[in-house]
Structure 1
Amino acid sequence: MKLHFHRLILAAGLLLASFGTSSAEPLRTPPSFEKWSVNCGNSGMCYASAFVRDQATWVDIRIIRDWRAGAEALVRLTTNAPLAAEGTIKLSVDGREIDAFPVEQLREIQSTIVAPPGFRPIGGEGFWVPVGPATRALVSAMRAGNVLTVSLPATPDPVTIKVPLQGSRAALRWIDERQLRSGTQSALVNPGEAPAEDAPHAVPVLAPDTLPPAVQKIWDANRFCSDIDPAIFASLDAVAAPLEDKSTLYLLPCGAPSAYNTPYVAILGTPDGKARQLYVSRMAEKGPIASDLIYNARWFPVEKQMHGFFKGSGLGECGIWDRWVWTGSNFVLTEEASRQTCDGTDVSLDTWGTTWPAAASKE
C-alpha cells in the first residue's frame, strides 16, 4: 500500500509537468451582470438570478434551464414574506402587468411542475411560475424590460419589490453560451436556425443505491463516505458524467458535510462494469501530493474540468482553490490558488495569488 501511494504521488507530479493552462478556462467564480448572478450545477443545469431586499422582505427571482435540447426555461419566485392565501401575486414589467397568480391556486399547482433533477431550492417559500405560455411571456418581457415589479399579498401589509432587469439579457446570453445554445432555435437570446441539441451534461445521482455495483462498493468502502443521510446526499449535486470512451465519471459526496466544506470522491466506471477511484494532485510545501478528496467539487461538462475549493471560513475569503482537467485517463492539476488570511474581508477568488503554476523565477 505504501509503495502504491508513492507511485500515485509520482504520477501526480508527472501530470503536473505535462499540461499548461488554457486561456479559455472557465473563471474561478461565475461572472455577474449588474444585479444578476449566474451559475451552473454539476449536471449542466444553469440559472440566472437576482436577489433584492426591501427592509425586512426579500425576493429571489431566478430563470432556470436544464441541459436537454427541448428543456424550456423555468421561472421560480421565492420570498420570505408570509403570504395571505386569498391574495394575488402580481408581476409587472415597466408598469405593464404580465401576469397575476392567486396564492392559493399557485400553491396547488406546484406539485404538477417537475423541477430539473438536482435542483436545490433556497430558503423561504418558493413558487414555480406556471410553465408554458405564462413563463415564456414573463421571460420575454424581462429580457426586454428595465424593472420587474413583484407585488406580494404579504401579511399584515402588502409589499412591492422592484427587481432591476439591467443585466438579465446578458445573464441569459451567458446561459446560452454555457449550454452551447447560441445561434440555435432554443437560444434564449438571439436564436438562430440551427437545431437544438442536448448540452454537454452529467446525470444527477440522487441516491447511492442507484450506483453501479462496482462504483457503490468503492464509495461505500472509502473512508466514511456512506456515513451520510440520504436526504443530504440527494441535495449535494452528485453526478455521473459520460466521457468520450463510454466510461463514466462519478463525482460523489463522501461523508457528512461540515459547515462550509463538503468532501467528494471521484470514481471512474468503465463499460465492462469495473471501477477505480481517481486521485488528484495538490501542491504542498515541498511539491505535489496525491489526494483522494475534492472539497466543494464542481464539474464543467463542456471543458471536462473539475474545480475544488477548500474554504478556510464560511465567508470563503481564505482557503485553497484548484482546477483539474480530464486527460482521458486521469485528472491533471493546471492551476491552484490560495489565500491564507481569514480576516472576514470579502475578497474575490479571482484575485487570489496563484500557487501553481509557480511564477517564473526572476534572473
Structure 2
Amino acid sequence: MLTIALLLASLQIGPTPGLEKGFGDWEVACDNVKACEMTSLIREDADWPEDGPLNVSIAREAGAAAGFTVTIDTGQAKGPVTVKIDGVELVRATPAKGGLRFAGVEAGRIVEAMANGADLRVEHGGKVLLSVPLSGSSAALRFIDAEQGRAGTVTAAVAKGIKPVSAVPGVVAAPRVVALRASGKPAVITAALQARMEKLAECEEEERGTSEVTTAALGGGATLALLPCMSGAYNTLLVPFVVRGGTVAVADLDYSNEGSETAPMLTNGWWEADRNVLSSRAKGRGIGDCGEAAEYVWDGRGFRLTELRSMEPCRGSTNWLRRWTARAVFR
C-alpha cells in the first residue's frame, strides 16, 4: 500500500498557491481551499511604532456556514479595552495573551461596520491603543466574497445579493500528502561529496559565505544536505540535496521561488526533526514584516509543500497570509 501511495504522490500536479492582493491599507490572501484572511498594514507615511505594529486581522473559512473571526493585537495592555469604528463603540473586552479574538455575532458586527467605516480604534484607559485605517478593507472583503463564491448571496460581507445560502460552494478538503518519518543517522559529507554538490549548484564561491553544510537523516538511507549558496545580511540561500549510498542529487521540491530549474533554493532553510518538516523563511527585510515562508514533508522521493505563507508589502505585518495548505499523513 505504501509503495502505491508514494507512486501516486509522485505523479500529482505541483501546488498552485492562492492569490495575495493589496487594497489600500489592507493585504488579503486566500489559499487553495479558499480559506481567506486579510490583515491591516501601517500607513505608508507613518512612523514605526516604538513597540512594533499592532495588527487587525479578519479570517473566514470557505463554505456556507462559515462566519468571520476577528483578531486584534493589543500588546501589553491590561484590563478592558473598547473597539470603535468611526467613534461608535462596537464591543468591550479584556485581552488575553496580547490580543482580542471575536467570532460569531461580535465578529459579524465588527466586519459590517468596517465595510463602510474609515477608522478602527482600540481604546484602553481613555487613550488610543491602536488606530487602523479602513481604506481598502471593503475591497478586501469583496475579494473574499468573490474567491469563496459568496458574491450575490446572502452570506456575502460586501457583495450582497438575494441568492440563498445553498448557492455558496461547499468546503473543499485540503490535498493529502503521504509522508515518511525521519529515522537513522545522517551521512557524513566528505570533501568529494561537497565538491560534487558545489558543482551541481553552480554557486559563486565568493558569495557562499562561511556557513557549513547542514545535514539531517530522512530515513531509508537518505540524508538531506543543505549547501549554502549565497549569503546576505539576513538571508542565506541554500541548495537542498539528497545523499544516498555515497551519491548526491539535487533534491526535488515541488515548489520553490528561488534558484534555477536545475537547482532550486531555500532561503534560511532548516530541518525540524520534531515535526519531520523542512522549513524556509525568506525575509524581505531584517525586521521580518514581509517575505515568504514554506514548509515541506519528505515522501521518499522529494519534498512536498504543505504550507505557504507570504506578505508582499513591507508595511508592518508579521502576520503572513496562508496561500497553500496540504494535510501530511505520516507512514
When the two structures are superposed, what TM-score results if normalisation uses the length of structure 1?
0.45
When the two structures are superposed, what TM-score results if normalisation uses the length of structure 2?
0.48
More strand by share: 2
Question: Relative contact order: is structure 1 or structure 2 higher (C-alpha 8 Å, sep ≥ 6)?
Answer: 2
